[in-house]
Chain A
Amino acid sequence: RKEVEQDPGPFNVPEGATVAFNCTYSNSASQSFFWYRQDCRKEPKLLMSVYSSGNEDGRFTAQLNRASQYISLLIRDSKLSDSATYLCAVNMGGAGAQKLVFGQGTRLTINP
């Protein structure tokens, strides 16, 4: 089993739709969780950290389910500019310098 798994997609959704991604992880001792966004031919950039209590940033909501070992990302009222690859990342190390394991990424295209 892969350490971190994502549905690679592609997801093609119309502008204004709501879209959700899940990401599962295998190591129950994982400490921290993240969603990164990567545009074509660009470097990954942090979109959101995912906290145990869940967190929201505008149209984006991230959830963590430790019992089932998955994290999720919900995008509401999607915009054309949301088209990108979304990478989940799990910190397999402790505090301090991280040991991030990334999923394969989910490719999202928002259509006008």
Chain B
Amino acid sequence: ETGVTQTPRHLVMGMTNKKSLKCEQHLGHNAMYWYKQSAKKPLELMFVYSLEERVENNSVPSRFSPECPNSSHLFLHLHTLQPEDSALYLCASSQDMGNSYNEQFFGPGTRLTVL
């Protein structure tokens, strides 16, 4: 079983709602990631955190706001989303050891539908 958990697993929200996705890793890793997976599109990297510092924001709209309070938890705060934001949001973690071959472990994802 994966050591990365995500809640909720499914979320339906209106365009004016504010919601948050939560990710927790139990692997002792120090890097965490948010990805978006839409139908018929490649998995897209959104944000990268290393040692709780954001090191990458992959041109993501400001209606997505990440938060990493500690090395085990990662949040994605959502507000004023659009229907095209409906997708599977995946969290991942890895151990940053100064090695470019660190394995990323993915959580099961949150299936988001924006109405």
Binding site for B on A (CB under 8 A): 4, 31-32, 42-46, 49, 51, 87, 91, 93-105
Besides A46-B103, A97-B94, 6 other CB < 8 A contacts? A43-B90, A51-B101, A96-B96, A96-B102, A101-B45, A102-B43
Say whether chain B's binding surface is mostly helix, strand, loop, or mixed: loop
Known: A31-B100, A46-B103, A49-B101. A99 touches B108 (CB 8 A): no
Say whether, besides A97-B48, A98-B94, A103-B42, A44 and B101 are in contact (CB < 8 Å): no
Chain A residues within an 8 Å CB radius of B44: 102
Q: Please determine whether A43 and B108 come into contact, CB atoms closer than 8 angstroms.
A: yes
Residue of B nearest to A105 (CB): B42
Contact A98/B48 with A32-B101, A43-B90, A44-B106 known, Cβ cut-off 8 Å? yes
Q: Quick check: is B31 within 8 A (CB to CB) of the other chain?
A: yes
Interface residues on chain B, number (Cβ under 8 Å):
31
The smallest C-beta distance from B52 to any residue of chain A, in angstroms, reads 11
CB distance B42 to A99 under 8 Å? no
| Chain B hits for A93, CB < 8 A | 56, 100
Interface assignment of B34: CB less than 8 Å from any CB of chain A:
no
B99/A97 in contact, CB under 8 A? no
